[in-house]
Chains A and B, each alone.
Chain A
Amino acid sequence: MGYDLRLRVWRGDRSGGQLGDYSVPVEEGEVVLDAIHRLQATQAGDLAVRWNCKAGKCGSCSAEINGRPRLMCMTRLSDFEESETITVTPVRTFPVIRDLVTDVSFNYEKAKQVPAVKLTPRDPDGKRRMMQVDVERGQEFRKCIECFLCQNVCHVVRDHEENKEAFAGPRHFLRYAELDMHPLDTHDRRKLAQDVAGLGMCNITKCCTEVCPEGIHITDNAIIPMKERVVDRKFDPVTWLGSKIGRRDPRDEV
């Protein structure tokens, strides 16, 4: 059965804005993005909203729904009471462009700072080989759809604009971890992760993991392992000594 959904949507741009109240007819089985589209089609033709796949795979429709960072296309209306007012705002960490659309270029700039993979030479037969068990470890990180909800919810930059210069954010720590675990990569990015990407600023409060729509264990499987690898490189005298007098890390520090 359909009903009239009470919706509050932030409307505005960089010069200012406010929450506008709307009533939108919705049907059973719909998601928040359906309601936003109906609002756009029937009442607010100039409402700016970024979306693409409607299947939780493109990462375009990131927003904050009742204050929680979520994908609009993956947030079912049935999760809320019919009498409840649903508030939709743009993500609050990045500069707003208009209405629900923000400028997420911060994330692309940070991505440029991660040195790309540099593989070992090929085997004599011209191939490179990785065992399945080694491939699987990094596959979890490849599920990232770059919705940037983790970047948005991370309080290091969300609550401290001044930290954006020195902090890359969870999405990029995922990348650092994936490459550091790569069996064929020849770059050692541990020092870079700490000194340039600001891994030490993360206080592992796990909000990135909580909001990840792909269910990636960002903190447990990427950030903490990366922190431990940085400890190996920078803070643990025994491991450091072992790397000097024992078997050296064959990778080149970048």
Chain B
Amino acid sequence: MSYGVRSPGRAQIEQKTLRQDRWWLYPAVTFTVFMAFIVYATWRAFAGHDYYSAPYLSPFYSPCLGSCVKGSSDFGQPFGWWPLSAALIVLIFPLGFRMSCYYYRKAYYRSFWLSPPACGVAEPHTKYTGESRFPLILNNIHRYFFYAAVLVAVVLSYDAVLAFRDATGHWGHMGLGTLVLVVNVVLIWAYTLGCHSCRHAVGGRLRHFSKHPLRYKAWTLVSKLNANHARYAWLSLFSVALADLYVYLLAIGAFSDPRFF
């Protein structure tokens, strides 16, 4: 039986799409990059070693709350009994934040689920209920992951500040690793604060901007970040992986950290 764009009553056109441009490029690139990140992040998250090279702590393992190596736990080890990698304790929050993020939803619905792969290109599924049922209805709790992501960003900021100490704990140091962590945390903040749920919370939910000038101002600022949310989503994804990779390479002794001062 015909369905979708070939449904009865519609213009009978054999092709599922008549697009001639490279519509497949965006979903193909997105799928490839995301898969590469998933493979890399899974390996690093489960590895449980080579995540700290004083004074740098990998963002995948921060805050390090499990049984972590000496010097890496700035907030104690309340999960010292945790038998697996310490990264798994905290990664669930940034992972949940990104999985339920409005931009990432667009990206993975298009590139992984092909629903749709591109605009005006028929999707392969015969049934569709969107986010109205379990499990995708859970994406509606995005705001709670946002709150958790803010806490994680605060901790990463703390790590970036600590990176201005040297390996012996003395302030007044800056190495390439410091720069890597600082750039990473700036991009993480730009992504986190540009979140649609943040935009809603700070002022979007209002019906009278005029009665709340400060919240309106905050909404205006968040809206500027929000306009580039996709860009920061990508950049922060790269930066967090690169920051982890940098710490990993230092930890295994691949090279020593170039020091600026």
Distance of A159 Cα from B105 Cα, bound (Å): 19
Interface range on chain B (Cβ under 8 Å from partner): 35 or more
Interface range on chain A (Cβ under 8 Å from partner): 35 or more
Q: Which residues of B contact A2 (CB under 8 A)?
A: none
Task: Give which listed residue, B19, B196, B197, B208, contacts A183 with CB less than 8 A.
Answer: B208
Distance of A202 Cα from B223 Cα, bound (Å): 22
- B residues 36-64 near A (Cβ < 8 Å) are none
Q: Which residues of A contact B200 (CB under 8 A)?
A: 225, 228-229
The residue in chain A whose Cβ has the minimal distance to the Cβ of B213 is A133
Query: Does any Cβ of B come within 8 Å of A95's Cβ?
Result: yes
Number of A-B contacts (CB under 8 A): 157
Query: Does any Cβ of B come within 8 Å of A92's Cβ?
Result: yes
Distance of A65 Cα from B171 Cα, bound (Å): 63
Q: Which residues of B contact A95 (CB under 8 A)?
A: 9-10
Main secondary structure of the interface of B (DSSP, over half): loop
Task: Give which listed residue, A17, A153, A198, contacts B120 with CB less than 8 A.
Answer: A153
Distance of A134 Cα from B212 Cα, bound (Å): 11
Task: Give which listed residue, A67, A200, A204, contacts B137 with CB less than 8 A.
Answer: A200
The residue in chain A whose Cβ has the minimal distance to the Cβ of B5 is A92
Query: Does any Cβ of B come within 8 Å of A181's Cβ?
Result: yes
Query: Does any Cβ of A come within 8 Å of B176's Cβ?
Result: no
Contact B106 A205 (CB under 8 A): yes
Q: Which residues of B contact A183 (CB under 8 A)?
A: 207-208, 210
The residue in chain B whose Cβ has the minimal distance to the Cβ of A227 is B140
Given contacts A16-B12, A89-B13, contact A160 B209 (CB under 8 A): no
Distance of A12 Cα from B10 Cα, bound (Å): 10
Distance of A28 Cα from B138 Cα, bound (Å): 53
Segment at the A interface, from B80-88, B125-133, B154-162? B125-133
Given contacts A224-B102, A228-B204, contact A17 B11 (CB under 8 A): yes
Q: Which residues of B contact A102 (CB under 8 A)?
A: 11
Q: Which residues of B contact A37 (CB under 8 A)?
A: none
Task: Give which listed residue, B120, B132, B205, contacts A201 with CB less than 8 A.
Answer: B132
Contact B196 A201 (CB under 8 A): no
Contact A155 B207 (CB under 8 A): no
- B residues 1-29 near A (Cβ < 8 Å) are 3-5, 7, 9-13, 17-21
Contact B130 A203 (CB under 8 A): yes
Distance of A160 Cα from B4 Cα, bound (Å): 5
Q: Which residues of B contact A220 (CB under 8 A)?
A: 196, 226-227
Closest Cβ of chain B: how far from A63's Cβ, in Å? 10
Q: Which residues of B contact A87 (CB under 8 A)?
A: 18
Distance of A230 Cα from B7 Cα, bound (Å): 32
Closest Cβ of chain B: how far from A114's Cβ, in Å? 17
- A residues 72-124 near B (Cβ < 8 Å) are 87, 89-90, 92-96, 102
Closest Cβ of chain B: how far from A74's Cβ, in Å? 17
Closest Cβ of chain B: how far from A55's Cβ, in Å? 24
A-B contact pairs, 15 of them (CB 8 A): A92-B11, A93-B5, A158-B4, A158-B122, A160-B128, A182-B207, A203-B105, A203-B106, A203-B130, A204-B102, A207-B120, A228-B205, A231-B141, A231-B143, A236-B141
